Structure 1
Amino acid sequence: MDDLQFKSRYGPWALIAGASEGTGAAFARHLAGKGLNLILVARREGPLDALAQELRAANDVECVTASIDLARDDAAQRLLAAAGGREVGLLILNAGSDPNGALFLDNDLADWDALAMRNVMTVMRAVHAFAAPMRDRRRGGLMLVGSGACYGGLPGIGVYAATKAFGLVLGEALWAELEPHGVDVLSLVLGRTDTPAHRGLMEARGMAIPDGLADAGDVARLGLERLPFGPVCNWGEADDEAGMSASSAAQRRERIRRIASISAAYSAKG
Protein backbone atom coordinates (compact mmCIF):
# COMPACT_ATOMS: atom_id res chain seq x y z
CA MET A 1 0.00 0.00 0.00
CA ASP A 2 1.15 3.57 -0.56
CA ASP A 3 1.83 6.04 2.25
CA LEU A 4 -1.66 7.60 2.12
CA GLN A 5 -3.30 4.18 2.39
CA PHE A 6 -0.95 3.24 5.23
CA LYS A 7 -1.76 6.42 7.15
CA SER A 8 -5.50 5.91 6.63
CA ARG A 9 -5.27 2.35 7.90
CA TYR A 10 -2.89 2.83 10.83
CA GLY A 11 -2.90 6.55 11.65
CA PRO A 12 -3.09 9.23 12.70
CA TRP A 13 -0.85 8.34 15.67
CA ALA A 14 1.57 5.47 16.25
CA LEU A 15 2.97 4.60 19.68
CA ILE A 16 6.37 2.92 19.74
CA ALA A 17 7.63 1.41 22.99
CA GLY A 18 11.39 1.03 22.96
CA ALA A 19 11.87 3.86 20.49
CA SER A 20 15.14 5.45 21.58
CA GLU A 21 17.54 3.41 19.42
CA GLY A 22 17.94 0.39 17.16
CA THR A 23 14.83 -1.06 15.56
CA GLY A 24 12.54 1.22 17.59
CA ALA A 25 14.17 4.36 16.21
CA ALA A 26 14.12 2.80 12.73
CA PHE A 27 10.37 2.20 13.01
CA ALA A 28 9.94 5.84 14.04
CA ARG A 29 11.87 7.14 11.03
CA HIS A 30 9.91 4.98 8.59
CA LEU A 31 6.56 5.96 10.10
CA ALA A 32 7.38 9.65 10.19
CA GLY A 33 8.24 9.38 6.52
CA LYS A 34 4.76 7.98 5.92
CA GLY A 35 3.20 10.95 7.69
CA LEU A 36 2.15 9.36 10.98
CA ASN A 37 2.39 11.35 14.19
CA LEU A 38 4.44 9.58 16.86
CA ILE A 39 4.38 8.85 20.57
CA LEU A 40 7.91 7.74 21.40
CA VAL A 41 8.48 5.79 24.60
CA ALA A 42 11.66 4.57 26.29
CA ARG A 43 13.41 4.94 29.61
CA ARG A 44 16.07 7.43 28.54
CA GLU A 45 14.78 10.95 27.89
CA GLY A 46 17.85 12.28 26.09
CA PRO A 47 17.84 9.94 23.07
CA LEU A 48 14.05 10.18 22.83
CA ASP A 49 14.10 13.97 22.72
CA ALA A 50 16.89 13.99 20.15
CA LEU A 51 14.99 11.54 17.92
CA ALA A 52 11.76 13.53 18.23
CA GLN A 53 13.58 16.74 17.27
CA GLU A 54 15.12 14.99 14.25
CA LEU A 55 11.78 13.64 13.06
CA ARG A 56 9.95 16.95 13.47
CA ALA A 57 12.63 18.73 11.47
CA ALA A 58 12.65 16.19 8.64
CA ASN A 59 8.93 15.46 8.39
CA ASP A 60 5.66 17.34 8.77
CA VAL A 61 4.60 15.31 11.82
CA GLU A 62 4.01 15.74 15.52
CA CYS A 63 6.17 13.84 18.02
CA VAL A 64 5.66 13.52 21.74
CA THR A 65 7.90 11.59 24.11
CA ALA A 66 7.46 9.80 27.41
CA SER A 67 10.10 8.31 29.70
CA ILE A 68 8.55 5.06 30.96
CA ASP A 69 10.15 2.00 32.52
CA LEU A 70 8.16 -0.86 31.00
CA ALA A 71 9.22 -3.16 33.84
CA ARG A 72 7.13 -1.18 36.32
CA ASP A 73 3.75 -2.51 37.36
CA ASP A 74 2.02 0.69 36.21
CA ALA A 75 3.73 0.83 32.81
CA ALA A 76 0.61 0.12 30.74
CA GLN A 77 -1.32 2.84 32.54
CA ARG A 78 1.53 5.24 31.89
CA LEU A 79 1.48 4.33 28.18
CA LEU A 80 -2.20 5.23 28.09
CA ALA A 81 -1.46 8.49 29.87
CA ALA A 82 1.28 9.27 27.34
CA ALA A 83 -1.23 8.77 24.54
CA GLY A 84 -3.42 11.32 26.29
CA GLY A 85 -6.59 10.62 24.34
CA ARG A 86 -4.88 10.72 20.94
CA GLU A 87 -6.18 8.24 18.37
CA VAL A 88 -3.49 5.57 18.29
CA GLY A 89 -3.93 3.47 15.17
CA LEU A 90 -0.67 1.57 15.46
CA LEU A 91 0.99 0.12 18.55
CA ILE A 92 4.52 -1.23 18.22
CA LEU A 93 5.89 -3.02 21.29
CA ASN A 94 9.58 -3.15 20.50
CA ALA A 95 11.19 -3.04 23.96
CA GLY A 96 12.30 -6.13 25.82
CA SER A 97 15.88 -7.18 25.13
CA ASP A 98 17.61 -9.33 27.76
CA PRO A 99 20.33 -7.34 29.54
CA ASN A 100 21.20 -10.13 31.98
CA GLY A 101 23.39 -12.61 30.15
CA ALA A 102 23.21 -15.16 32.96
CA LEU A 103 22.03 -18.67 33.72
CA PHE A 104 18.68 -18.75 35.52
CA LEU A 105 19.94 -19.70 38.98
CA ASP A 106 23.00 -17.49 38.74
CA ASN A 107 20.96 -14.29 38.62
CA ASP A 108 18.77 -12.53 41.16
CA LEU A 109 15.09 -13.37 40.90
CA ALA A 110 14.30 -9.65 40.85
CA ASP A 111 16.03 -9.36 37.46
CA TRP A 112 13.88 -12.14 36.00
CA ASP A 113 10.77 -10.56 37.53
CA ALA A 114 11.58 -7.29 35.76
CA LEU A 115 12.13 -9.04 32.43
CA ALA A 116 8.86 -10.96 32.75
CA MET A 117 6.97 -7.82 33.71
CA ARG A 118 8.32 -5.92 30.71
CA ASN A 119 7.81 -8.68 28.13
CA VAL A 120 4.65 -10.36 29.45
CA MET A 121 2.45 -8.33 31.78
CA THR A 122 3.10 -4.92 30.22
CA VAL A 123 2.67 -6.35 26.71
CA MET A 124 -0.62 -8.03 27.63
CA ARG A 125 -1.98 -4.96 29.41
CA ALA A 126 -0.92 -2.52 26.68
CA VAL A 127 -2.43 -4.61 23.91
CA HIS A 128 -5.68 -4.93 25.84
CA ALA A 129 -5.86 -1.16 26.36
CA PHE A 130 -4.96 -0.02 22.85
CA ALA A 131 -6.61 -2.78 20.80
CA ALA A 132 -10.11 -2.20 22.17
CA PRO A 133 -10.56 1.23 20.49
CA MET A 134 -9.05 -0.19 17.28
CA ARG A 135 -11.67 -2.94 17.27
CA ASP A 136 -14.40 -0.37 17.75
CA ARG A 137 -13.04 1.74 14.86
CA ARG A 138 -12.57 -1.42 12.75
CA ARG A 139 -9.05 -0.48 11.73
CA GLY A 140 -5.56 -0.37 13.20
CA GLY A 141 -2.47 -2.45 13.78
CA LEU A 142 -0.52 -4.16 16.55
CA MET A 143 3.08 -5.27 16.17
CA LEU A 144 4.86 -7.40 18.76
CA VAL A 145 8.58 -7.40 18.04
CA GLY A 146 10.03 -10.72 19.12
CA SER A 147 13.06 -12.94 18.73
CA GLY A 148 13.90 -16.30 17.23
CA ALA A 149 14.51 -17.36 20.82
CA CYS A 150 10.71 -17.73 21.06
CA TYR A 151 10.90 -21.08 19.26
CA GLY A 152 12.74 -22.97 21.99
CA GLY A 153 14.35 -22.82 25.40
CA LEU A 154 17.97 -21.76 25.34
CA PRO A 155 20.43 -21.86 28.27
CA GLY A 156 21.45 -18.43 29.45
CA ILE A 157 18.35 -16.75 28.04
CA GLY A 158 15.65 -19.08 29.32
CA VAL A 159 13.38 -16.40 30.80
CA TYR A 160 13.84 -14.16 27.78
CA ALA A 161 12.97 -17.00 25.40
CA ALA A 162 9.90 -17.88 27.46
CA THR A 163 8.65 -14.29 27.45
CA LYS A 164 9.09 -14.05 23.69
CA ALA A 165 7.17 -17.31 23.27
CA PHE A 166 4.33 -15.67 25.22
CA GLY A 167 4.33 -12.70 22.83
CA LEU A 168 4.33 -14.96 19.78
CA VAL A 169 1.39 -17.07 20.95
CA LEU A 170 -0.59 -14.06 22.17
CA GLY A 171 -0.02 -12.31 18.85
CA GLU A 172 -1.22 -15.31 16.87
CA ALA A 173 -4.40 -15.58 18.92
CA LEU A 174 -5.09 -11.85 18.65
CA TRP A 175 -4.58 -12.00 14.89
CA ALA A 176 -7.38 -14.55 14.61
CA GLU A 177 -9.64 -12.65 17.02
CA LEU A 178 -9.14 -9.19 15.51
CA GLU A 179 -8.89 -9.98 11.80
CA PRO A 180 -12.70 -9.95 11.39
CA HIS A 181 -12.71 -6.45 12.91
CA GLY A 182 -10.18 -4.96 10.51
CA VAL A 183 -7.28 -4.86 12.97
CA ASP A 184 -3.96 -6.30 11.79
CA VAL A 185 -1.63 -8.14 14.18
CA LEU A 186 1.94 -9.19 13.46
CA SER A 187 4.60 -10.91 15.52
CA LEU A 188 7.85 -9.81 13.89
CA VAL A 189 10.40 -12.46 14.85
CA LEU A 190 13.94 -11.13 14.59
CA GLY A 191 17.22 -12.88 14.12
CA ARG A 192 20.47 -11.30 15.25
CA THR A 193 20.11 -7.59 14.58
CA ASP A 194 22.70 -4.83 14.73
CA THR A 195 21.42 -2.70 17.59
CA PRO A 196 23.25 -0.88 20.40
CA ALA A 197 21.67 -3.23 22.96
CA HIS A 198 22.91 -6.33 21.13
CA ARG A 199 26.38 -4.89 20.65
CA GLY A 200 26.55 -3.85 24.29
CA LEU A 201 25.64 -7.31 25.55
CA MET A 202 28.20 -9.02 23.32
CA GLU A 203 30.93 -6.58 24.28
CA ALA A 204 30.14 -7.12 27.96
CA ARG A 205 30.65 -10.83 27.40
CA GLY A 206 33.94 -10.24 25.58
CA MET A 207 32.53 -11.54 22.30
CA ALA A 208 33.40 -10.19 18.87
CA ILE A 209 30.62 -8.59 16.87
CA PRO A 210 29.85 -11.09 14.10
CA ASP A 211 29.37 -10.36 10.42
CA GLY A 212 25.94 -10.63 8.87
CA LEU A 213 23.87 -8.92 11.54
CA ALA A 214 20.56 -7.66 10.20
CA ASP A 215 20.27 -3.91 9.64
CA ALA A 216 17.71 -2.29 11.95
CA GLY A 217 16.31 -0.13 9.15
CA ASP A 218 15.75 -3.16 6.93
CA VAL A 219 14.06 -5.01 9.78
CA ALA A 220 11.68 -2.13 10.47
CA ARG A 221 10.85 -1.72 6.79
CA LEU A 222 10.00 -5.41 6.45
CA GLY A 223 7.84 -5.38 9.57
CA LEU A 224 5.75 -2.49 8.28
CA GLU A 225 5.41 -4.13 4.86
CA ARG A 226 4.25 -7.42 6.39
CA LEU A 227 1.92 -5.91 9.00
CA PRO A 228 -1.23 -6.64 6.91
CA PHE A 229 -0.12 -10.26 6.41
CA GLY A 230 0.13 -11.66 9.95
CA PRO A 231 0.28 -13.32 12.26
CA VAL A 232 4.02 -14.05 11.94
CA CYS A 233 6.95 -12.79 9.93
CA ASN A 234 10.33 -14.46 10.48
CA TRP A 235 13.26 -12.24 9.54
CA GLY A 236 15.35 -13.67 6.72
CA GLU A 237 12.77 -16.28 5.70
CA ALA A 238 10.15 -16.33 2.98
CA ASP A 239 6.56 -16.74 4.12
CA ASP A 240 6.58 -20.42 3.14
CA GLU A 241 10.09 -21.17 4.43
CA ALA A 242 10.78 -22.93 7.74
CA GLY A 243 14.12 -22.18 9.32
CA MET A 244 13.79 -20.69 12.79
CA SER A 245 11.12 -23.25 13.67
CA ALA A 246 9.75 -26.49 12.28
CA SER A 247 6.85 -24.67 10.62
CA SER A 248 6.84 -21.68 8.30
CA ALA A 249 4.86 -18.51 8.88
CA ALA A 250 2.37 -19.66 6.25
CA GLN A 251 1.91 -23.02 7.96
CA ARG A 252 1.34 -21.34 11.33
CA ARG A 253 -1.22 -19.03 9.71
CA GLU A 254 -3.19 -21.91 8.22
CA ARG A 255 -3.06 -23.87 11.47
CA ILE A 256 -4.55 -20.93 13.36
CA ARG A 257 -7.24 -20.52 10.69
CA ARG A 258 -8.21 -24.18 11.10
CA ILE A 259 -8.34 -23.92 14.89
CA ALA A 260 -10.37 -20.69 14.67
CA SER A 261 -12.90 -22.30 12.33
CA ILE A 262 -13.27 -25.30 14.63
CA SER A 263 -13.75 -23.01 17.63
CA ALA A 264 -16.36 -20.99 15.74
CA ALA A 265 -18.24 -24.18 14.86
CA TYR A 266 -18.34 -25.29 18.49
CA SER A 267 -19.51 -21.84 19.56
CA ALA A 268 -22.29 -21.89 16.96
CA LYS A 269 -23.50 -25.27 18.24
CA GLY A 270 -23.75 -23.86 21.76
Structure 2
Amino acid sequence: MIDQYGPWAVIAGGSEGVGSAFAHRLADAGLNLVLIARKPGPLAETADAVRAKGAEVRALELDLVAQDPLKAVREVTDDLDVGLLVFNAGANSYGHEFVSGDLDRFQSAIDLNVTAQLALTHHFGARMKTRGRGGILLVGSLAGYMGQPQISIYSAVKAFGRVFAEGLWLEMREHGVDVLELVLGVTRTPAMERAGLNMDIPGLNVAEPDDIAREGLEHLKDGPVWVAGGNYDMAQKRAGFPRDRLVAGTHKAMQRLLPKPS
Protein backbone atom coordinates (compact mmCIF):
# COMPACT_ATOMS: atom_id res chain seq x y z
CA MET A 1 0.00 0.00 0.00
CA ILE A 2 2.74 2.46 0.84
CA ASP A 3 4.29 2.08 -2.63
CA GLN A 4 1.04 3.12 -4.34
CA TYR A 5 -0.53 5.47 -1.79
CA GLY A 6 2.29 6.63 0.46
CA PRO A 7 4.18 8.11 2.03
CA TRP A 8 1.48 10.58 3.22
CA ALA A 9 -2.31 10.35 3.36
CA VAL A 10 -4.71 13.23 3.97
CA ILE A 11 -7.95 12.39 5.78
CA ALA A 12 -10.63 15.08 5.81
CA GLY A 13 -12.95 14.23 8.67
CA GLY A 14 -10.23 12.19 10.33
CA SER A 15 -10.99 12.60 14.02
CA GLU A 16 -13.65 10.04 14.90
CA GLY A 17 -15.83 7.26 13.56
CA VAL A 18 -14.94 6.06 10.08
CA GLY A 19 -12.25 8.75 9.69
CA SER A 20 -10.46 7.60 12.83
CA ALA A 21 -10.71 3.99 11.64
CA PHE A 22 -9.07 4.97 8.35
CA ALA A 23 -6.31 6.73 10.28
CA HIS A 24 -5.53 3.65 12.37
CA ARG A 25 -5.54 1.28 9.40
CA LEU A 26 -3.32 3.54 7.30
CA ALA A 27 -0.90 4.02 10.20
CA ASP A 28 -0.75 0.24 10.58
CA ALA A 29 0.13 0.06 6.88
CA GLY A 30 3.07 2.45 7.40
CA LEU A 31 1.64 5.70 6.02
CA ASN A 32 2.06 9.10 7.64
CA LEU A 33 -1.08 11.16 8.13
CA VAL A 34 -2.54 14.63 7.86
CA LEU A 35 -5.77 14.64 9.86
CA ILE A 36 -8.30 17.41 9.27
CA ALA A 37 -11.32 17.92 11.53
CA ARG A 38 -13.40 20.57 13.30
CA LYS A 39 -13.42 19.17 16.82
CA PRO A 40 -10.07 19.65 18.62
CA GLY A 41 -10.63 17.00 21.30
CA PRO A 42 -11.31 13.96 19.09
CA LEU A 43 -8.71 15.24 16.58
CA ALA A 44 -5.97 15.32 19.22
CA GLU A 45 -7.02 11.94 20.59
CA THR A 46 -6.82 10.22 17.21
CA ALA A 47 -3.56 11.99 16.32
CA ASP A 48 -1.93 10.82 19.56
CA ALA A 49 -3.19 7.28 19.09
CA VAL A 50 -1.76 6.87 15.60
CA ARG A 51 1.49 8.58 16.57
CA ALA A 52 1.86 5.86 19.18
CA LYS A 53 1.86 3.39 16.30
CA GLY A 54 4.90 5.11 14.78
CA ALA A 55 3.20 7.31 12.21
CA GLU A 56 4.19 10.91 11.68
CA VAL A 57 1.05 13.02 12.04
CA ARG A 58 0.06 16.59 11.29
CA ALA A 59 -3.29 17.58 12.80
CA LEU A 60 -5.21 20.51 11.33
CA GLU A 61 -8.22 21.88 13.20
CA LEU A 62 -10.32 23.29 10.38
CA ASP A 63 -13.94 23.77 9.40
CA LEU A 64 -14.03 22.88 5.72
CA VAL A 65 -16.92 25.29 5.11
CA ALA A 66 -14.76 28.21 6.25
CA GLN A 67 -13.58 30.67 3.63
CA ASP A 68 -10.85 29.19 1.40
CA PRO A 69 -10.14 26.01 3.42
CA LEU A 70 -7.67 24.84 0.77
CA LYS A 71 -5.27 27.64 1.77
CA ALA A 72 -5.05 26.25 5.31
CA VAL A 73 -4.69 22.69 4.01
CA ARG A 74 -1.87 23.70 1.67
CA GLU A 75 0.02 25.39 4.49
CA VAL A 76 0.48 22.02 6.20
CA THR A 77 0.78 19.79 3.12
CA ASP A 78 2.66 21.59 0.35
CA ASP A 79 5.98 20.14 1.51
CA LEU A 80 4.62 16.58 1.66
CA ASP A 81 4.36 13.82 -0.95
CA VAL A 82 0.65 13.03 -0.60
CA GLY A 83 -0.43 9.81 -2.28
CA LEU A 84 -3.89 9.30 -0.81
CA LEU A 85 -6.85 11.58 -0.14
CA VAL A 86 -9.72 10.27 1.96
CA PHE A 87 -12.62 12.72 1.97
CA ASN A 88 -14.72 11.51 4.88
CA ALA A 89 -16.21 14.87 5.90
CA GLY A 90 -19.86 15.47 5.16
CA ALA A 91 -22.15 13.66 7.60
CA ASN A 92 -25.72 14.92 7.53
CA SER A 93 -26.05 17.41 10.38
CA TYR A 94 -29.31 19.09 9.35
CA GLY A 95 -32.52 17.29 8.50
CA HIS A 96 -35.53 19.43 7.69
CA GLU A 97 -38.30 19.90 5.16
CA PHE A 98 -36.72 22.03 2.46
CA VAL A 99 -39.21 24.86 1.97
CA SER A 100 -39.50 25.63 5.69
CA GLY A 101 -35.84 25.00 6.50
CA ASP A 102 -32.87 27.30 6.99
CA LEU A 103 -31.36 28.01 3.58
CA ASP A 104 -27.97 28.86 5.09
CA ARG A 105 -27.76 25.45 6.74
CA PHE A 106 -28.68 23.74 3.49
CA GLN A 107 -25.95 25.76 1.80
CA SER A 108 -23.43 24.53 4.36
CA ALA A 109 -24.22 20.95 3.34
CA ILE A 110 -23.54 21.90 -0.28
CA ASP A 111 -20.35 23.78 0.60
CA LEU A 112 -18.98 20.80 2.52
CA ASN A 113 -20.05 17.92 0.31
CA VAL A 114 -19.53 19.63 -3.03
CA THR A 115 -17.32 22.74 -2.86
CA ALA A 116 -14.79 21.56 -0.28
CA GLN A 117 -14.65 18.06 -1.72
CA LEU A 118 -13.97 19.44 -5.20
CA ALA A 119 -11.27 21.82 -3.95
CA LEU A 120 -9.28 19.12 -2.15
CA THR A 121 -9.76 16.56 -4.91
CA HIS A 122 -8.69 19.04 -7.59
CA HIS A 123 -5.55 20.03 -5.68
CA PHE A 124 -4.31 16.61 -4.58
CA GLY A 125 -5.56 14.84 -7.70
CA ALA A 126 -3.45 17.10 -9.91
CA ARG A 127 -0.37 16.28 -7.86
CA MET A 128 -1.09 12.55 -8.03
CA LYS A 129 -1.57 12.71 -11.79
CA THR A 130 1.84 14.36 -12.16
CA ARG A 131 3.60 11.72 -10.06
CA GLY A 132 1.74 8.88 -11.80
CA ARG A 133 0.24 7.09 -8.78
CA GLY A 134 -2.09 7.63 -5.88
CA GLY A 135 -5.62 7.17 -4.64
CA ILE A 136 -8.73 9.25 -3.99
CA LEU A 137 -11.40 7.77 -1.73
CA LEU A 138 -14.63 9.74 -1.40
CA VAL A 139 -17.05 8.59 1.29
CA GLY A 140 -20.64 8.61 0.08
CA SER A 141 -24.02 7.44 1.30
CA LEU A 142 -26.95 5.26 0.30
CA ALA A 143 -28.97 8.44 0.72
CA GLY A 144 -27.54 9.55 -2.62
CA TYR A 145 -29.46 6.91 -4.55
CA MET A 146 -32.80 8.69 -4.30
CA GLY A 147 -34.50 11.75 -2.87
CA GLN A 148 -35.87 11.39 0.64
CA PRO A 149 -37.98 13.53 2.98
CA GLN A 150 -36.18 15.74 5.49
CA ILE A 151 -32.79 15.12 3.86
CA SER A 152 -33.44 16.18 0.27
CA ILE A 153 -30.31 18.36 0.05
CA TYR A 154 -28.09 15.76 1.72
CA SER A 155 -29.37 13.10 -0.70
CA ALA A 156 -28.74 15.43 -3.63
CA VAL A 157 -25.14 16.24 -2.70
CA LYS A 158 -24.37 12.56 -2.10
CA ALA A 159 -25.77 11.76 -5.54
CA PHE A 160 -23.46 14.44 -6.94
CA GLY A 161 -20.47 12.83 -5.19
CA ARG A 162 -21.14 9.42 -6.68
CA VAL A 163 -21.53 10.68 -10.25
CA PHE A 164 -18.47 12.91 -9.84
CA ALA A 165 -16.42 9.89 -8.70
CA GLU A 166 -17.49 7.92 -11.76
CA GLY A 167 -16.25 10.62 -14.11
CA LEU A 168 -13.06 11.20 -12.14
CA TRP A 169 -12.32 7.47 -12.18
CA LEU A 170 -12.49 7.48 -15.98
CA GLU A 171 -10.15 10.47 -16.18
CA MET A 172 -7.56 9.32 -13.65
CA ARG A 173 -7.21 5.58 -14.23
CA GLU A 174 -4.84 6.05 -17.18
CA HIS A 175 -2.55 8.11 -14.91
CA GLY A 176 -2.15 5.43 -12.21
CA VAL A 177 -4.55 7.08 -9.74
CA ASP A 178 -7.29 4.95 -8.20
CA VAL A 179 -10.65 6.61 -7.49
CA LEU A 180 -13.40 5.14 -5.35
CA GLU A 181 -16.75 6.35 -4.05
CA LEU A 182 -17.29 4.27 -0.89
CA VAL A 183 -21.04 4.18 -0.30
CA LEU A 184 -22.07 3.77 3.34
CA GLY A 185 -25.35 2.69 4.83
CA VAL A 186 -26.22 3.05 8.51
CA THR A 187 -22.90 3.11 10.38
CA ARG A 188 -22.32 3.28 14.12
CA THR A 189 -20.50 6.61 14.31
CA PRO A 190 -20.60 9.53 16.77
CA ALA A 191 -22.12 11.70 14.02
CA MET A 192 -25.00 9.26 13.55
CA GLU A 193 -25.53 9.11 17.30
CA ARG A 194 -25.54 12.91 17.59
CA ALA A 195 -28.14 13.02 14.82
CA GLY A 196 -30.36 10.86 17.02
CA LEU A 197 -30.72 7.96 14.59
CA ASN A 198 -32.24 4.83 16.07
CA MET A 199 -29.77 2.02 15.38
CA ASP A 200 -31.44 -0.55 17.62
CA ILE A 201 -34.24 -1.48 15.23
CA PRO A 202 -34.41 -5.30 14.93
CA GLY A 203 -33.04 -6.47 11.60
CA LEU A 204 -31.40 -3.13 10.75
CA ASN A 205 -28.04 -3.59 9.05
CA VAL A 206 -25.63 -1.46 11.10
CA ALA A 207 -21.95 -1.37 10.09
CA GLU A 208 -18.98 -0.69 12.36
CA PRO A 209 -16.42 2.02 11.42
CA ASP A 210 -13.41 -0.29 11.37
CA ASP A 211 -15.17 -2.72 9.04
CA ILE A 212 -16.03 0.15 6.71
CA ALA A 213 -12.42 1.42 6.65
CA ARG A 214 -11.09 -2.07 5.99
CA GLU A 215 -13.55 -2.62 3.16
CA GLY A 216 -12.81 0.75 1.61
CA LEU A 217 -9.05 0.23 1.53
CA GLU A 218 -9.38 -3.34 0.30
CA HIS A 219 -11.49 -2.18 -2.65
CA LEU A 220 -9.80 1.11 -3.47
CA LYS A 221 -8.69 -0.39 -6.78
CA ASP A 222 -12.22 -1.59 -7.55
CA GLY A 223 -13.70 1.79 -8.44
CA PRO A 224 -15.53 3.81 -9.36
CA VAL A 225 -18.14 2.80 -6.75
CA TRP A 226 -18.14 0.26 -3.94
CA VAL A 227 -21.21 -0.21 -1.73
CA ALA A 228 -19.96 -1.14 1.74
CA GLY A 229 -21.45 -2.98 4.68
CA GLY A 230 -23.43 -5.55 2.74
CA ASN A 231 -25.75 -2.90 1.29
CA TYR A 232 -25.33 -3.65 -2.42
CA ASP A 233 -28.84 -5.11 -2.78
CA MET A 234 -30.30 -2.03 -1.09
CA ALA A 235 -28.44 0.28 -3.48
CA GLN A 236 -29.62 -1.79 -6.43
CA LYS A 237 -33.20 -1.63 -5.24
CA ARG A 238 -33.03 2.12 -4.74
CA ALA A 239 -31.61 2.56 -8.21
CA GLY A 240 -34.05 0.24 -9.97
CA PHE A 241 -37.37 -0.21 -8.16
CA PRO A 242 -40.52 1.51 -9.46
CA ARG A 243 -40.29 4.98 -7.93
CA ASP A 244 -43.79 5.11 -6.46
CA ARG A 245 -43.24 1.93 -4.44
CA LEU A 246 -39.67 2.86 -3.58
CA VAL A 247 -40.39 6.37 -2.34
CA ALA A 248 -43.26 5.17 -0.17
CA GLY A 249 -41.16 2.37 1.33
CA THR A 250 -38.19 4.62 1.96
CA HIS A 251 -40.36 7.23 3.65
CA LYS A 252 -41.62 4.61 6.10
CA ALA A 253 -38.06 3.40 6.77
CA MET A 254 -36.80 6.94 7.37
CA GLN A 255 -39.61 7.61 9.83
CA ARG A 256 -38.36 4.66 11.89
CA LEU A 257 -34.75 5.87 11.83
CA LEU A 258 -35.16 9.60 12.45
CA PRO A 259 -35.70 10.96 15.98
CA LYS A 260 -39.29 11.83 16.78
CA PRO A 261 -40.09 15.59 16.68
CA SER A 262 -40.11 17.20 20.12
Report the TM-score range of the alignment, normalised by the length of the smaller protein: 0.7 to 0.9
User: Which residue is 1:259 aligned to?
Assistant: none
- Runs of 5+ consecutive residues of structure 2 not aligned to the other structure: 242-262
2:41 equivalent to 1:46: yes
Write out the 4+ residue segments of structure 1 that deviate beyond 6 Å after TM superposition.
none
Shift of residue 189, structure 1, vs aligned partner:
0.4
User: Which residue is 2:194 aligned to?
Assistant: 200
Cα contact 2:146–2:238 (8 A) shared by 1 = no
Cα contact 1:73–1:122 (8 A) shared by 2 = no
User: Which residue is 1:13 aligned to?
Assistant: 8
User: Which residue is 2:207 aligned to?
Assistant: 214
Deviation string 1:39-81 (CA, Å, 9 cap, x unpaired) is: 0000011211111111111x22101100110112312222222
User: Which residue is 1:231 aligned to?
Assistant: 224
Q: Residue 76 of structure 1 is aligned with which of 67, 70, 73?
A: 70
Cα contact 2:143–2:158 (8 A) shared by 1 = yes
- SS of 2:160's equivalent? helix
Deviation string 1:147-200 (CA, Å, 9 cap, x unpaired) is: 001111111101101111111111110100000000000000001100011011
Cα contact 1:19–1:41 (8 A) shared by 2 = yes
Letter in 2 for 1:192: V
Cα contact 1:237–1:243 (8 A) shared by 2 = no
User: Which residue is 1:246 aligned to?
Assistant: 240
Please show how residues 24-35 of structure 1 align to structure 2 within 5 Å: 24-35=19-30
Cα contact 2:185–2:231 (8 A) shared by 1 = no
2:84 equivalent to 1:61: no
2:88 equivalent to 1:87: no
Cα RMSD after superposing both structures: 1.7
- Runs of 5+ consecutive residues of structure 1 not aligned to the other structure: 1-5, 248-270
Letter in 1 for 2:81: E
User: Which residue is 2:110 aligned to?
Assistant: 116
- SS of 1:228's equivalent? coil
- SS of 2:136's equivalent? strand
Q: Please give the alpha-carbon distance, in whole angstroms, between the structure 1 residues aligned to 2:2 and 2:102.
A: 44
TM-score w.r.t. length of structure 1? 0.84
Shift of residue 110, structure 1, vs aligned partner:
0.7
Q: Residue 171 of structure 1 is aligned with which of 165, 175, 183?
A: 165
Cα contact 2:199–2:206 (8 A) shared by 1 = no
Letter in 1 for 2:39: R
Letter in 1 for 2:141: S
Cα contact 2:168–2:179 (8 A) shared by 1 = yes
Identity percentage of aligned residues: 43
Letter in 2 for 1:145: V
Q: Please give the alpha-carbon distance, in whole angstroms, between the structure 2 residues aligned to 1:71 and 1:127.
A: 15
